[in-house]
Amino acid sequence: MSAAHHLGADYDLHEALAHSGGHAITSERDGFRFDRTGHLLHLRDDGIRSWVEQMVGDESVRVQRNSRVFSHGGYTRYPYQANTFGLPPEVANECLLGYLEALDKQASFGDPKDFEQFCLKYFGRGFSEHFMIPYNQKLWGVHPSEITAEWCSRFVPQPKLQDVIAGAVGLNDRELGYNTNFLYPRLGIGALPAAMEQGLRKPITFEHAPTAIDWKRRTLTFADGETPYRALISTAPLDRLVDLLVDAPDEVIAAAGKLRCNPLWYLDVGLDAPCGVDLHWAYVPEPQYPFYRVGCYSNFSEAMAPAGKACLYVELSSRERPDMDALYPEVVRGLLDMQIISRPDDVLFMDPRRIGHAYVLYDHEYYGALDVIRPFLDEAGILSCGRYGDWNYSSMEDALIFGRDAAKAAEALL
Q: From 258, 276, 288, 292, select the one nearest 361 (Cα to Cα).
A: 258
How far is it, in rounded angstroms, from Cα 77 to Cα 21?
A: 32
Rounded-to-integer distance, Cα 350 and Cα 358, Å: 20
Q: In angstroms, rounded to a whole number, what is the distance separating the alpha carbons of residues 368 and 372?
A: 7
- Interatomic CA distance for residues 248 and 240, integer angstroms: 13
Tell me the three state secondary structure of residue 246. Answer: coil
Predicted local confidence at residue 154, as pLDDT: 66
Length reported for the chain:
414
In this structure, what are the phi and psi dihedrals at residue 198, rounded to the nearest 5 degrees? -65, -25
Nearest alpha-carbon partner for 120 in 136, 101, 93: 101
Residues contacting 191, CB < 8 A, separation 6+: 26, 56, 59, 60, 185
- List helix spans (H) across 38-178: 46-56, 89-109, 115-127, 133-140, 161-168
Q: Do the bridges between strand 232-234 and strand 60-64 make them parallel or antiparallel, or are there none, so unpaired?
A: unpaired
The structure's pTM equals: 0.94
> Helix 191-198 crosses helix 46-56 at what angle (to 10 degrees)?
90
The Cα-based distances of 3 to 10, 12, 88 in angstroms read 11, 11, 50
Name the β-bridge partners of 352: 267
Cα separations in angstroms, 278 against 86, 343, 371: 17, 17, 45
Of 414, 393, 412, 403, which is closest to residue 47 (Cα–Cα)? 403
Q: List the chain pLDDT tens, one digit each, 414 residues.
A: 999 999 999 999 999 999 999 999 999 999 999 999 999 999 999 999 999 999 998 999 999 989 999 999 999 999 999 999 999 999 999 999 999 999 999 988 888 999 999 999 999 999 999 999 999 999 999 999 999 987 776 667 788 898 899 889 888 666 655 567 899 999 999 999 999 999 999 999 999 999 999 999 999 999 999 999 999 999 999 999 999 999 999 999 999 999 999 999 999 999 999 999 999 999 999 999 999 999 999 999 999 999 999 999 999 999 999 999 999 999 999 999 999 999 999 999 999 999 999 999 999 999 999 999 999 999 999 999 999 999 999 999 999 999 999 999 999 998
Q: Over the stretch 205-241, which tens digit does the pLDDT of each residue have?
A: 999 999 999 999 999 999 999 999 999 999 999 999 9
Task: Kindly list the domain boundaries of the chain, sorted by start residue.
Answer: 2-20+204-260+362-413, 80-168
What fold, for 2-20+204-260+362-413? FAD/NAD(P)-binding domain (3.50.50)
Output the pLDDT for position 188.
Answer: 98
Cβ 262 vs Cβ 391: under 8 Å: no
Burial class from Cβ neighbours inside 10 Å (0-12, 13-18, 19+) for residue 369 reads: buried
